[in-house]
Amino acid sequence: MALNNTYDAGEAYDVCAARSLRQETAVGAGAQVLLLAVLGTTIGLGTAGWLTGLVFAIASWAVLSRALHRSRPAVFGPANRVTLGRTTLVGSVTALVADSFRGAPPVCLLVGLTAVALILDGVDGRVARRTGTTTALGARFDMEVDAFLILVLSVYVARDLGPWVLLIGGMRYVFVAAARVWPWLTAALPPSTARKTVAALQGVLLLLAGANLLPRAADAGVVAVALALLVWSFGRDVRWLWWRSRVPAVPVTATRELVAR
């Protein structure tokens, strides 16, 4: 009887936790639709913007819900809430960029939403560390939101500077696709401040180029610097992963002998 009670309590806890997680993702999707409605009434968001924003809201909700179902965390966590809020901003930026193909978007609004999303990028990780809620899911969630924002900004800037800017937004996805062909690319990389700095600079430099504050030639130079830094960062990591894949694994017995000496 005691075992049955324990099982029932644990099952009830799992059900409550799953319900709480579904509510968190539903709130995020609802906030996305609400913000799209605000944009629609204030700036007259077009059909392309509406459809793109809604597709983003549904897709992000579905992907996040599936990830939560597979990882089954006990709670959503404050850091993930920050990232979810940033996802809502990224969805709105995506809608504005999609709408920009029919006419000039409100640059100040686009820049403002993007700037807040970039600032919050440095908040969620800090919140996770301070609250002791750092998880692999949270790190992946944060990384995917960052990557998609860079892709969207690349599309926006490429309208004026040319399709070569898309290399910035597409490089990470090319790397992921290449990892399916060469599994050695999936190995864990050592922590790197340089890698984090280059990744953070991509959004800042693309935002600067898209803000229409500099001459076109200067914007091209800014984006070229961003691309050069990204190529250097990816090239360094790929070279390290390739070198690591060529190094034979050291047997446990040999490792113990080295330690003993």
* SS (HEC) of 11-71: HHHHHHHHHHHHHHHHHHHHHHHHHHHHHHHHHCCCHHHHHHHHHHHHHHHHHHHHHHHHH
Phi, psi of 215 (to 5 degrees): -60, 160
pLDDT of residue 96: 94
How many whole angstroms separate alpha carbon 111 and alpha carbon 7? 52
Check residue 256 and give its pLDDT.
37
Dist. CA 142–CA 144, nearest whole Å = 6
d(CA 181, CA 162): 29
- Of the chain, the percentage scoring pLDDT greater than 90 comes to 56
Give per-residue burial for 190-206: e unless 16+ CB within 10 Å, then b. Answer: eeeeeeeebbeebbebb
Question: Is the confidence at residue 253, as pLDDT, over 80?
Answer: no
Q: Strand, coil or helix: what is 72?
A: coil
Residue 249: predicted pLDDT: 57
State the CB neighbour count (10 A cutoff) for residue 62: 12
Residue 137 tokens read as 């899911």
- Residue 68 confidence (pLDDT) above 90: no
Question: Residue 85: which pLDDT band, with cuts at 50, 70 and 90?
Answer: very high
Check pLDDT > 80 for residue 212: yes
User: Cα 44 to the chain's mean position, in Å?
Assistant: 28
Could you tell me how far CA 5 lies from the centroid of its own chain? 42
**Residue 2 pLDDT:** 45
Coil/strand/helix, residue 100? coil
Instruction: Give the angle 98-104-167 at the CA atoms, nearest 5°.
Output: 50
Residue 4 scores a pLDDT above 90: no
Summarised one tens digit per residue, pLDDT across range 13-65 is 477 777 888 888 888 889 999 999 998 888 888 889 999 999 999 999 999 98
Question: How is residue 188 annotated by DSSP?
Answer: P
**3-state DSSP percent of the chain in helix, strand and coil, to 5:** 85, 0, 15
Inter-residue contact 241 to 184 (CB < 8 Å): yes
More confident residue, 135 or 172: 172
pLDDT in tens, 141-169: 999 999 999 999 999 999 999 999 999 99
- What band does 124 get if pLDDT is binned at 50, 70 and 90? confident
Question: pLDDT class for 252, splitting at 50, 70, 90?
Answer: very low
pLDDT digits (tens, 9 = 90+) for 216-241: 999 999 999 999 999 999 999 999 99
What is the per-residue pLDDT for 11? 52
Residue among 129, 34, 29, 116 at smallest CA distance from 79: 129
Give which of 24, 23, 16 is closest to 83, Cα–Cα. Answer: 24
Average pLDDT over residues 170-198: 93
The chain-wide mean pLDDT, for the chain, equals: 86
| Lowest-confidence pick of 20-29, 33-42, 106-115, 173-182 | 20-29
Distances (CA, A) of 118 to 97, 185, 205, 244: 16, 27, 11, 33
Residue range 184-189: mean pLDDT, rounded: 91
pLDDT score recorded for residue 161: 95
Burial bucket for residue 90 (CB in 10 Å: 0-12, 13-18, 19+) = buried
Span 244-260, average pLDDT:
52
